[in-house]
Amino acid sequence: MSSDVRIQIFDTTLRDGEQCPGAAMTGRQKLDVARQLARLGVDIIEAGFPIASRGDFDSVKEIARTVRGPVICGLARCINADIDAAGAAVKPAGKQGRIHVFLGTSKIHREFKLGKASDEILRLATEGVRRARKFTDNVEFSPEDASRTEIDFLVEVVEAAISAGATTINLPDTTGYATPEEYGRMFAEVIARVRGSAHAVFSTHCHNDLGLAVANSLAAVHAGARQVECTVNGIGERAGNAALEEIVMALHTRRDFYTHLTTGIHTREIVRTSRLVSGACGFPLPRNKAIVGLNAFAHSSGIHQDGILKKRETYEIMDPEEVGWGKTELPLTKHSGRAAVIARLKHLGYTLQPAELQAVFARFKEIGDRKKFVHDDDLVSLVGAQIHVAHETYSLENLTCRSGTNEKPLATVTLRHGRKKLAASGTGDGVVDAVMKTIDRITGLKGHLLDYAVRAVTEGKDAVGEVSLNVRFEAKGEPASGRAAATDVIESSGRAYLAAVNRWLAEGGRVSKKTRRTLASP
């Protein structure tokens, strides 16, 4: 009989990962990612923070209703309204639903964040777990900032949570402060001292502020943790979370050290999942990113190349095909039909609705007319831009620009709003600025650009240029993100800015009264 021990992979890409500034995904994108995470083989999907917004609640509920395989988890503070919202959101998952409650326990959190004494924290933790148990038997408890919590109090609060019915105990390094040695030691001591620890699964959740998230997670596993909380590509708040692909492949590759520890991850789905998440949140991967970066298995040194040719293992500790790298599929061309495009999209992890497919196929044909081949990364970029906002209030009909060394840049933009066409011209400090200001004139909005990034999706002079940006339309409002892809960077910029406009309007933004009167006129 095998003595292997299963390490559960708890993916929080859709919750903690999405909290990374600029990484917000639509409900549609979250569902695509959740389906791919199920194909990847994760054990638990933390689908969101249901109390945070109506959109978050609906997204968690839809994932709980439609995604089968993993446990579907909703996050909640130890507050009744939070727990009730999480319970309602994960209810469609039935016995595969989990509620994850958390409460700050470190001295700095108790004094400055919560303003509560230790005995009050114990009471709230106990009551929070008990309330969550009314909705499901699968309850996880996290003493937030565990790595900076006094060990005696940490043991006390963990015991209280287990006594109240918590089946999973997560000891997070919330601020990325811990080192591997002390983090592993904390797990070993808590597991040894807590009465009833054998009745709970201990979990690790690490942030990467000091670049130690993966190392700390593995130290916790070595000390007895049997669940790892992580995100695809390591996305997350501040410097990010522990990267799923790095943890899984460390356990897989170093079986000689992590003896008898296994995961249920289908490693050949890693690269595909990474691309899907990167496309959904608009965060391009660094070329030197471990496991999934374009350079992860590239060798330029002559000595390395010679060694690889003689025996791959001389300089590669993993087989690239084992994580999903392999022979590149033949790229599509402008002559490729709808069936071929659908097949490639399905291979990449996308299941589109008919209207979405029609829009993506139309953009595919436009791109195909401008470049010889349309590669997988081009398709990922097109899909990400198309489903970035649920409702398109305005669409781009035409964009022309004029610029020169000694000439003020001028942009002329035509937008479609329902059955109306609205056109205007405007100038700016540069061509991109002129385009955005002209869109503002038409829509009656005034956006403040917070972040702007452009990248070539593939190689070559005809490469698709993808623009990602964040815009604030109100002084104190939440920023709206936009993404678009085209072979022309100016067009990409205009489309991305318009996507941010549409997203802001779809999420409750308002057009000025003056513009509403203009739009209402014949």
The predicted-structure confidence for 133-142, as pLDDT tens digits, reads as follows 999 999 999 9
Q: What pLDDT is stored for residue 191 in this prediction?
A: 98
Q: What pLDDT is stored for residue 510 in this prediction?
A: 59
Characterize the bridge pairing of strands 395-404 and 407-417: antiparallel
Specify which residues 202 forms β-bridges with: 169
Q: Where are the domains of the chain?
A: 5-281, 338-386, 395-520
Q: What pLDDT is stored for residue 241 in this prediction?
A: 97
| Helix boundaries (H) for 142-292 | 151-164, 180-193, 213-222, 244-253, 270-281
Cβ–Cβ under 8 Å, residues 64 and 73: no
Cβ–Cβ under 8 Å, residues 289 and 278: no
Pairwise CA distance, residues 59 & 386, whole Å: 18
Burial (CB count within 10 angstroms: exposed 0-12, middle 13-18, buried 19+), residue 468:
buried
Question: 5-281 domain in CATH 3.20.20.70?
Answer: yes
Q: What is the pLDDT of residues 224-254, one digit of tens each?
A: 999 999 999 999 999 999 999 999 999 999 9
Q: What pLDDT is stored for residue 100 in this prediction?
A: 98
- For the domain with range 395-520, which CATH number is right: 3.50.50.60, 3.30.160.270, 1.20.1440.230, 3.30.1600.10? 3.30.160.270
Q: What pLDDT is stored for residue 517 in this prediction?
A: 34
Q: Which two tokens stand for residue 10?
A: 């708890």
Pairwise CA distance, residues 237 & 365, whole Å: 37
List all residues 6 or more positions away from 216 whose beta carbon is below 8 Å from its beta carbon: 173, 178, 179, 180, 183, 184, 204, 206, 242
Pairwise CA distance, residues 95 & 84, whole Å: 17
Determine the 3-state secondary structure of 166 from DSSP.
Answer: coil
Determine the 3-state secondary structure of 53 from DSSP.
Answer: coil
User: Helix crossing, 151-164 with 180-193: angle to 10°?
Assistant: 50
Q: Do domains 5-281 and 395-520 have the same CATH topology?
A: no
Low-confidence stretches of the chain (pLDDT beneath 50): 1, 299-301, 303-305, 308, 512-522
The 8-class DSSP code of residue 208 comes to: -
Q: What pLDDT is stored for residue 387 in this prediction?
A: 65
- For the chain, give the number of residues: 522
Cβ–Cβ under 8 Å, residues 391 and 502: yes
Burial (CB count within 10 angstroms: exposed 0-12, middle 13-18, buried 19+), residue 424:
middle
Edge-to-edge order in the sheet of strand 420-427:
395-404, 407-417, 420-427
Pairwise CA distance, residues 391 & 475, whole Å: 24
Q: Which two tokens stand for residue 184?
A: 């592993």
Q: What pLDDT is stored for residue 296 in this prediction?
A: 80
Q: Which two tokens stand for residue 107?
A: 């001295």
Determine the 3-state secondary structure of 462 from DSSP.
Answer: coil
Q: What pLDDT is stored for residue 77 in this prediction?
A: 97
